[in-house]
């Protein structure tokens, strides 16, 4: 939490960004506050990722700077796309919101941005672990197990096991020994979760395990060569995962990214006219709406686009097909990273 004078400064920085009148010194101070919030979040809740990054030559400062690179995306006029997106989704006006309320809202926003970055990089640094984690999240809850957040991070717990909370946490080596003694061939994620349930019930411990520790156990199974890890489900039921506020936030983040990409990659380079760029953006907007509302697109990409641009199929294939497919690829990636991050 920032001191009261810093809270007032934070609001002033956001107002300056909104009105495009923040000077270099103020921007530097705003960046420093942002960096400190991100670093604190990484240290306190993302130690596994920090360790994995360090093994690959990225220290915590490098990670924070990379996250801010995503956060401080500008369009050709210097407009801070994602920061202004945050300002626009606040329930209160930036001119009236209380400093403490603004800080906690920004802190939450930075955590979401950090989680999206972490999921993306985690998938690159540890693709097997990423797939396992996603499969676990897709499968839970089961009859006996569910997922929750705690001060230790995301954890899998046995439903109705509160009576065991006074017991110590299980050591990873103990969990590993019992878990591996019970596995066979051709297990699904649900099978492995059931074995995990049986494992914690056999041990004299709290009936919970960190999600990241479960991922490590499952990796042990796959590294034994008994099965190949794969994504077991590629369906995104966003309305079952996010509340209305988070859905709005997700849409704003994605659409601002798409708009920036279209402006920089196509309009600024004269690959598309202003009208064509706007049409491409509106088509992607419609696809995102259907993706969230229905879990997929209702029309072909060509049919979405020709609502806004007068084209035939041959012109679409020649000029627009690769562009809209690239935008949809970005759209799906950002949805995936947001939904399957740790938090």
* Residue 108 is assigned to a structural domain of this protein: yes
Element (H, E) at 256: helix 244-262
User: 171 burial class (0-12, 13-18, 19+ CB within 10 angstroms)?
Assistant: exposed
By residue count, the chain amounts to: 343
* Residue 230 is assigned to a structural domain of this protein: no
Structural domain span for residue 271: 238-339
Domain end marker among 223, 254, 274: 223
Sign of CA dihedral 130, 134, 135, 137: positive
| pLDDT value, residue 14 | 93
| pLDDT value, residue 123 | 67
103 neighbors 1 (Cβ within 8 angstroms):
yes
In a shared domain, residues 253 and 270: yes
* Residue 229 is assigned to a structural domain of this protein: no
Domain end marker among 125, 150, 165: 125
For the chain, 343 residues long, the average pLDDT of each consecutive 10-residue run is 75 91 90 93 85 80 86 82 89 88 92 84 75 86 89 86 89 90 88 95 93 88 65 46 65 84 87 92 89 71 91 88 86 64 48
Q: How far is CA 327 from CA 51, 85, 289, 306, 315, in A?
A: 32, 19, 14, 16, 18
In a shared domain, residues 24 and 112: yes
| pLDDT value, residue 158 | 95
Residue 46, both tokens: 């993302």
| pLDDT value, residue 228 | 55
| pLDDT value, residue 96 | 87
Domain end marker among 176, 192, 223: 223
| pLDDT value, residue 227 | 55
The total number of structural domains in the chain stands at 3
């Amino acid at each position: 939490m920032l001191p009261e004078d810093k809270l007032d400064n934070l609001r002033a920085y956001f107002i300056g960004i909104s009105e495009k009148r923040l000077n270099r010194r103020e921007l530097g101070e705003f960046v420093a506050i942002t960096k400190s919030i991100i670093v604190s979040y990484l240290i306190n809740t993302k130690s596994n990722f920090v360790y994995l990054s360090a093994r690959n030559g990225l220290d915590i400062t490098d990670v924070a700077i990379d996250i801010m690179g995503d956060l401080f995306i500008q369009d050709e006029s210097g407009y801070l796309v994602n920061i202004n997106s945050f300002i626009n989704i606040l329930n209160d006006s930036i001119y009236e919101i209380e400093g403490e309320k603004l800080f906690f809202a920004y802190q939450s926003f930075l955590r979401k941005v950090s989680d999206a970055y972490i999921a993306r990089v985690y998938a690159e640094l540890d693709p097997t672990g990423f797939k396992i984690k996603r499969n676990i999240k897709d499968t839970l809850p089961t009859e006996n197990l569910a997922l929750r957040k705690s001060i230790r991070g995301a954890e899998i717990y046995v439903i109705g096991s509160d009576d065991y909370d006074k017991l110590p946490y299980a050591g990873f080596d103990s969990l590993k020994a019992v878990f591996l003694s019970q596995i066979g061939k051709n297990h699904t994620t649900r099978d492995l979760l059931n074995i995990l349930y049986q494992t914690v019930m056999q041990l004299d411990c709290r009936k919970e395990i960190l999600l990241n520790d479960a991922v490590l156990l499952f990796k042990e199974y796959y590294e034994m060569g008994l099965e190949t890890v794969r994504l077991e489900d590629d369906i995104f039921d966003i309305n079952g995962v996010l509340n209305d506020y988070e859905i709005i936030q997700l849409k704003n983040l994605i659409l601002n990214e798409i708009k920036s990409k279209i402006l920089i990659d196509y309009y600024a380079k004269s690959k598309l006219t202003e009208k064509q760029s706007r049409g491409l953006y509106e088509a992607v907007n419609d696809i995102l709406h259907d993706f969230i509302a229905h879990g997929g697109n209702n029309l072909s990409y060509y049919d979405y686009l020709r609502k806004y641009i007068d084209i035939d199929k041959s012109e679409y294939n020649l000029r627009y097909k690769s562009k809209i497919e690239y935008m949809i690829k970005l759209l799906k990636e950002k949805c995936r990273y947001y939904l399957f991050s740790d938090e």
